[in-house]
Amino acid sequence: MAEIIGGLGTSHVPSIAAAIDKGLADTAEWKPFFDGYLPARQWMLDHKPDIAVVIFNDHGNAFFLDKIPTLAVGVADSYPPIDEGWGPRALPDFAGARDFSWHLVDQLVENHFDPLVCRELEVDHGLQVPMELFFGRPEVWPVQVVPILVNTIQYPIPTPQRMWDLGRVLRGAIESWATHEKVVILGTGGLSHQLQGSRAGFINRQADRAWLAEIGPHPDKYLAMSREDYVEVFGSEGAELIMWLVMRGALSETVRTVHSHYCAPVSMTGAGMVILENAVAGS
């Protein structure tokens, strides 16, 4: 069977992409943020995954407010980076793990999920930024990707428990996939931020740091929160953090936190990442 080698959570702030494109990664403003990702990039080099399952939300690019699926899964051979209004970025297309994607879709339907199945899909910074943070900017990406898109843009967004359940089905799909491929799961979004309304510019540093510390050992705390709680604690856009629960739900009950990193503000957000591995019995 295929093997889950770890789960990583990360922010996917679009200004990160702009900083990379403009060569600002080593400036005083951006270096503390990017330096915190160096251990994650080394982790990827050491573990050499074959497939990256990326859970993210589209930001009005592939889907718009007239048609937003609660859950969508890509089954394409490749995924071009979408032009988000500033011109196409100098990124190679992302190769798709097509056969496994179809297997995942089948397992989702078998377990009473009803995803929109995307045979063609362009992907925005929600997928682009995590891939760049963890793999750099190679001529060819070293992994195939499985995009899982979750609506965190327009009410009603899914519940935290539903995202956890999605992670459990994802785990079952990987473990029943009859290859020896190594799979890494990327939960993306957040951390705390709000881009509109009376709380525009809101960041909750204390809650962000607690999330990074507790998402591994104490995820039940975050399953018990309502969607309204996420908006109150992390901001309207910070509610993207429910997508990290897909990653965490796919891992074992007991995990170890290999590395975490936090930096705020990054643009108008708290931003950071965590690396989780399934704990070995007795460790």
* Number of Cβ atoms within 10 Å of the Cβ of 228: 9
Tell me how far apart the alpha carbons of residues 97 and 163 are, in angstroms, rounded to a whole number.
22
Tell me how far apart the alpha carbons of residues 240 and 235 are, in angstroms, rounded to a whole number.
9
Tell me how far apart the alpha carbons of residues 54 and 166 are, in angstroms, rounded to a whole number.
13
Structure tokens at 143: 């992994």
DSSP state of 3: E
Q: Which member of 193, 218, 259, 261 is catalytic?
A: 193
Contact 8, 276 (CB under 8 A): yes
Dihedral sign, Cα of residue 29, residue 192, residue 15, residue 37: positive
Q: Which member of 125, 180, 259, 261 is catalytic?
A: 125
Structure tokens at 161: 């428990």
Catalytic residue list contains 193: yes
CA distance readout (Å), 221 to 95, 175, 207, 208: 36, 27, 12, 14
Name the CA radius of gyration of the chain, rounded: 17
- The residues annotated with a catalytic role in the active site are 125, 193
